[in-house]
Amino acid sequence: DAGITQSPRHKVTETGTPVTLRCHQTENHRYMYWYRQDPGHGLRLIHYSYGVKDTDKGEVSDGYSVSRSKTEDFLLTLESATSSQTSVYFCAISESKGPWGNTIYFGEGSWLTVV
């Protein structure tokens, strides 16, 4: 199993509150990703990182920000949570053949409910 830990695993929060999800890896992989999974939409990329302090937007980045101050940690922040951000969030990592040139491995997911 890839050494990826997501926290929290489950969270219920109120509309308008900030929320931060953490992804921690022990593999020293360069590339890290945040996806969300929703019925009817499959998995969609939110943001990804190709190194410390190097991040880029995915296809559904509005309302989300990320930070990567250490190789092992990639944080996803919802500045002001909305009900449309209720979802399952997956962190993923991949080795160093370029962000999309290699196998990616997923964490176990974080279930977020915004009420």
Partner 1 sequence: GIQVEQSPPDLILQEGANSTLRCNFSDSVNNLQWFHQNPWGQLINLFYIPSGTKQNGRLSATTVATERYSLLYISSSQTTDSGVYFCAAKETSGSRLTFGEGTQLTVNP
Interface residues with partner 1 (CB under 8 A)?
Answer: 40-45, 48, 58-59, 88, 90, 100-106, 108-109
Going by C-beta distance under 8 Å and a sequence separation of 6 or more, which residues neighbour residue 46? 34, 35, 36, 58, 60, 61, 64, 66, 76, 89
Closest CA relative to residue 77, chosen from 23, 3, 25? 23
Q: Smaller CB distance to partner 1: residue 54 or 69? A: 54
Least CB distance to partner 1 at residue 85 (A): 18
Q: Smaller CB distance to partner 1: residue 6 or 85? A: 6
Least CB distance to partner 1 at residue 80 (A): 26
Q: Which residues pair with 49 in a beta bridge?
A: 32, 55
Strand order, beta sheet including 73-78 = 4-7, 19-25, 73-78, 64-70
Least CB distance to partner 1 at residue 48 (A): 8
Q: Smaller CB distance to partner 1: residue 14 or 59? A: 59
Q: Smaller CB distance to partner 1: residue 24 or 44? A: 44
Closest CA relative to residue 46, chosen from 56, 26, 60, 32? 60
Least CB distance to partner 1 at residue 83 (A): 21
